[in-house]
């Protein structure tokens, strides 16, 4: 029998998997680790085929990018040319006290043989240059910080006037820093008074001024003068030939520099009405469904947007009369129009309702029993007669009498301290602004003094020999509840000294607190928790949120919402470059009365959702020139892009490289110099990255000097105090700010890896309560609590190695903190004061609003 030859089976060569040969020395650590574990990487056969780009494809891609850039430049320059061209805005800023901005603008007018308009309107001096086919609108700014910042926000170019005889003062340097922080367009420094300098020193003076300006604006390599017409004409030629340098944060936002303002009061309330703003729309496109922000007054809805064409005088001969009539561009849709509701109204009935447990009922019964005992003690003390009360040092007898009355009516004790006062630690910090983790008020550094009280509750005056005229004046001040100037100054010095001490202690011993001896640590620090790892331990961001979090707005994906909102803003019907008239509704008469030809009146368009409140974060860096302590929850004025608010920010550490695994960030009690921190406030939502500036409130509150000063634009040029600068971050309410406290103890006895620790706790119950939390020493040892020893808080601890006698044992505790809902719109005008000047149109002149309605 013949055996048949056995045949082998082979797959097609196209299905054979071919791995690329790989030498070990070229292998990565991850591939070597996976190979050692037996993992295999399977190639994706169904993936998209990657085609190699040829040289022609690469050239085509480069041409496409070049074409896009050319189209973008053409779109930018197109609005500045043509019959209905938009004028370029040039803000002239005086940096020196002797700088005359009017003479600079006059020289520029004379260089092209144009007549300088000697009008009082400093914001609408328009120069039409026929040879360059360009139009320039000059803004002559006063020496006022707000005017300079508002003009810089809407300007295409900034002309800075510098004196050759007088140096730039502190106010000018502050304005330069503020402009640099918020972003700036192209800058042209112009020197005045150079003809008064000796010819041999002129070059040295120009070099010195150029070096000074380049410190703030490094791209400037030359300073200019307007002594001759040729030099002034060269400046105009550069302004008209260049493409304006855009500011990134304002590029996608519509804004308008109002040329005229018209107000129509409402029939129901004459203090509120409709406001018409006329001017050129710049930046992004505007929709009637969005809101408009007026600085100092807030956000308002749009009623109608009109297009008001303005043709040049030399081109109006062939124009048709109907073309120049206003026409409606856009009107709001009530279904999709943004509302003026800035916060949600939380439903209190939806809160979780549970019956109290027996332990809670027992604790409340103990509190009631304790209050009854204190009331009995108070009655017994009254029957005995005189007693002594303790009040904060510096309190007058008039204030002490009120404190006594409140204590007798509420606490029932003149000098006792109830533990219920410390039940809510958040309220303690928010009301007093102090650190509640330092224990009682005595441990905060506050001093007390004693008053003698008789049986009737009246304070007994001990010093009766000062019955002179001076004493009578002091008695009158005490009766009025006021302090003398000397006492007020002394208390202010003591307060500033205490802040300095707390800031110094925070730098030397950060987050360290003393365990109170009169209050159990498990009660005092009941809201704190221990974390195995600050960066990776889980922390639920929606756990025990305050009531204010029910009022904010939160996005499921902030980045996707931002992209959609930006695309929606680009499709708005009112395009940039149009001369428009915007009708706003429900505007107070103060907004119209504040319009002055001497000051820029600007309005900014908001994007969708930018009126709603949320938790806003921003980076902040301290100003090097400001050396005073800056504490969390100190009152500040924040310049938030084009909006200004009164805030009390809380600070936290800025994590480099993004958020941590659990999104937990350490709370900072003070804003430390030389580091970048993150500020957190409740504020309206802001898309994109905008500049942030923090100022002291008393330095920015520049009030008008005189009755009509608010209209004439004459404000005091007070020196503003800049605290810090930064940029905004994305809206993220789930960012956890954890406040850390460190409880410390000292070694008592050491035996190998074991040690007896004392002074961290003062009773055995506290030791057992905090037993699961990990310990560490300042010399790097890690340990835990083994057992409690005795009844005075001694505890046995085990460490990973022997510790030293001079070492300090520490325990970290954390508690989440939240900002307070105290954000309000900042206004340079007093909101409660009714301006004496009312907006009054002549009877013969019909309102533009009424004419458009007809």
Beta-ladder partners of 264: 274
Question: Residue 693, SS3?
Answer: strand
Short-list 696, 670, 654, CA closest to 504: 670
Q: What span, in angstroms and rounded, lies between the C-alpha atoms of 794 and 773? A: 16
739-761: buried (b, 16+ CB within 10 Å) or exposed (e) per residue? bbbbbbbebeebeeeebbbbbbb
pLDDT of residue 310: 79
Question: Given this chain, do its domains 76-246 and 738-817 carry the same CATH topology?
Answer: no
Q: How many residues does the chain have?
A: 854
All residue ranges of the chain with pLDDT < 50 are 1-4, 314-323, 408-446, 462-481, 701-717, 831-854
Q: How many CA atoms lie within 13 A of 53 on its CB side?
A: 8
The reported pLDDT for the residue numbered 109 is: 92
CATH number of 76-246: 3.40.50.300
Residue with tokens 């789930």: 734
d(CA 744, CA 736): 25
Give Dmax (Cα) for the chain: 146
Three-state DSSP class for residue 387: strand
227: left (phi over 0), alpha (psi -120 to 50) or beta: alpha
pLDDT at 716: 39
pLDDT at 10: 60
CB neighbour list of residue 242: distance below 8 Å, 6 or more residues apart: 186
In this prediction, residue 31 carries a pLDDT of: 72
Condensed to tens digits (0 to 9), the pLDDT of residues 410-441 reads 444 333 333 333 334 444 344 434 444 443 34
Q: At what angle do helices 170-182 and 145-154 cross, to 10 degrees?
A: 30
SS3 315: helix
Q: What are phi and psi of 817, to 5 degrees?
A: -120, 155
Q: Number of C-alpha atoms within 13 angstroms, CB side, residue 845?
A: 9
Identify the pLDDT of residue 710. Answer: 37
Domain spanning 738-817: CATH superfamily: translation elongation factor selb, chain A, domain 4 (2.40.10.190)
pTM of the model: 0.73
Q: What is the pLDDT of residue 454?
A: 65
* Alpha carbons 138 and 120: distance in angstroms, whole number: 13
Residue 631 per-residue DSSP state: B
CB contact at 8 A, 206 and 191: yes
Burial zone of 660 (CB within 10 Å; 0-12 exposed, 13-18 middle, 19+ buried): middle
List, in order, residues 6 or more apart from 11 with CB less than 8 Å away.
none
Rg (CA), the chain: 35
| Three-class DSSP category at 211 | helix
Helices (H), 83-125: 101-111
Listed by start position, the domains of the chain span 76-246, 738-817
Sorted by sequence, the CB contacts under 8 Å of residue 49 that are 6+ apart come out as none
User: Whole-angstrom Cα distance, residue 395 to residue 403?
Assistant: 10
Smallest Cα–Cα separation from 454: which of 375, 376, 401?
A: 401
pLDDT at 447: 56
The pair phi, psi for residue 378, each rounded to 5°, is -65, -45
End-to-end CA distance of the chain: 116
Alpha helix stretches (DSSP H) within 725-823: 764-769
Spacing of C-alpha 836 from chain mean position:
33
For the CA atoms of 17, 18, 24, 28, what is the dihedral angle to 10 degrees? Answer: -60
């Amino acid at each position: 029998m013949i055996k048949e030859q056995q045949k082998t089976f082979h797959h097609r060569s196209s299905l054979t998997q071919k791995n690329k040969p790989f030498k070990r020395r070229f292998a990565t650590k991850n591939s070597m680790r996976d190979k050692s574990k037996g993992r295999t990487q399977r190639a994706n056969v169904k993936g998209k085929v990657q085609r190699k780009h040829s040289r022609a494809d690469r050239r085509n891609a480069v041409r496409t990018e070049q074409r896009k850039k050319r189209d973008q430049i053409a779109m930018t320059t197109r609005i500045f040319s043509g019959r209905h061209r938009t004028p370029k805005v040039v803000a002239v800023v005086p940096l020196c006290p002797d700088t005359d901005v009017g003479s600079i603008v006059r020289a520029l007018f004379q260089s092209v043989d144009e007549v300088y308009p000697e009008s009082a309107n400093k914001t609408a001096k328009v120069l039409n240059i026929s040879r360059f086919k360009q139009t320039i609108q000059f803004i002559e700014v006063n020496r006022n910080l707000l005017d300079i910042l508002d003009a810089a926000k809407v300007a295409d170019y900034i002309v800075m006037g510098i004196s050759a005889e007088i140096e730039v003062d502190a106010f000018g340097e502050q304005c330069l820093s503020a402009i640099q922080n918020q972003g700036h367009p192209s800058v042209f420094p112009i020197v005045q008074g150079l003809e008064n300098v000796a010819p041999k020193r002129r070059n040295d003076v120009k070099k010195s001024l150029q070096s000074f300006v380049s410190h703030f604006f490094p791209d400037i390599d030359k300073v200019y003068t307007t002594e001759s017409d040729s030099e002034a004409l060269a400046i105009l030629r550069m302004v008209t030939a260049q493409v304006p340098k855009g500011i990134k944060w304002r590029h996608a936002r519509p804004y308008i520099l109002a040329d005229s303002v018209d107000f129509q009061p409402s029939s129901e309330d004459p203090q509120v009405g409709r406001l018409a703003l006329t001017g050129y729309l710049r930046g992004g496109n505007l929709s009637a469904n969005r809101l408009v922000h007026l600085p100092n007054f807030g956000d308002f809805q749009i009623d109608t947007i009109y297009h008001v064409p303005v043709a040049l005088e030399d081109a109006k001969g062939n124009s048709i009369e109907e073309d120049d009539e206003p026409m409606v561009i856009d009107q709001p849709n009530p279904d999709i129009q943004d509302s003026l509701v800035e916060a949600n109204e939380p439903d209190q009935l939806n809160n979780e309702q549970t019956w109290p447990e027996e332990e809670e009922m027992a604790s409340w019964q103990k509190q009631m029993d304790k209050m009854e005992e204190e009331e009995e003690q108070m009655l017994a003390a009254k029957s005995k007669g005189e007693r002594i009360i303790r009040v904060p040092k510096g309190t007058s007898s008039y204030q002490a009498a009120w404190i006594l009355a409140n204590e007798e009516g509420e606490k029932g004790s003149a000098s006792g301290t109830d533990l219920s006062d410390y039940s809510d630690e958040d309220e303690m910090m928010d009301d007093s602004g102090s650190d509640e983790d330092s224990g009682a008020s005595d441990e905060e550094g506050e001093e007390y003094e004693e008053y003698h009280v008789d049986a009737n509750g009246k304070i007994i005056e001990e010093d009766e020999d000062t019955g002179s005229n001076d004493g009578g004046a002091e008695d009158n001040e005490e009766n009025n509840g006021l302090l003398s100037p000397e006492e007020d100054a002394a208390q202010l010095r003591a307060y500033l000294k205490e802040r300095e001490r707390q800031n110094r202690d925070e730098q030397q011993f950060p987050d360290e607190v003393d365990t109170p001896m009169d209050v159990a640590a498990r009660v005092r620090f009941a809201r704190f928790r221990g974390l195995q790892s600050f960066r990776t331990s889980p922390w639920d961001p929606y756990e025990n949120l305050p009531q204010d979090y029910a009022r904010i707005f939160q996005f499921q994906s902030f980045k996707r919402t931002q992209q959609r909102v930006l695309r929606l803003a680009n499709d708005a019907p009112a395009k940039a470059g149009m001369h428009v008239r915007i009708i706003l509704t429900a505007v107070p008469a103060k907004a119209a009365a504040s319009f002055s030809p001497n000051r820029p009146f600007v309005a900014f368009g908001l994007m969708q959702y930018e009126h709603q409140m949320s938790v806003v974060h921003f980076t902040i860096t301290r100003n090097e020139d400001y050396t005073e302590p800056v504490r969390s929850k100190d009152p500040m004025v924040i310049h938030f892009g084009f909006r200004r608010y009164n805030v009390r920010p809380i600070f936290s550490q800025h994590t480099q490289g993004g958020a941590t695994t659990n999104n937990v960030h350490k709370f900072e009690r003070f804003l430390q110099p030389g580091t970048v921190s993150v500020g957190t406030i409740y504020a309206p939502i802001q898309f994109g990255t905008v500049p942030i500036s923090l100022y002291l409130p008393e330095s920015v509150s520049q009030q008008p000097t005189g009755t009509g000063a608010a209209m004439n634009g004459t404000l005091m040029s007070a020196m503003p105090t800049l605290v810090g600068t930064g940029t905004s971050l994305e809206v993220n309410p789930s960012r956890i700010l954890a406040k850390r406290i460190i409880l410390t103890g000292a070694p008592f006895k050491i035996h190998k890896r074991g040690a007896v620790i004392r002074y961290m706790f003062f009773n055995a119950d506290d030791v057992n309560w905090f037993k699961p939390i990990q310990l560490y020493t300042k010399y790097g040892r890690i340990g835990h609590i083994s057992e409690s020893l005795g009844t005075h808080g001694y505890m046995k601890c085990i460490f990973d190695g022997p510790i030293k006698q001079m070492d300090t044992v520490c325990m970290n505790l954390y508690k989440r903190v939240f900002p307070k809902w105290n954000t309000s719109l900042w206004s340079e005008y007093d909101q409660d004061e009714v301006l004496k000047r009312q907006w009054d149109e002549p009877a013969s002149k019909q309102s533009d609003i009424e004419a458009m309605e007809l």
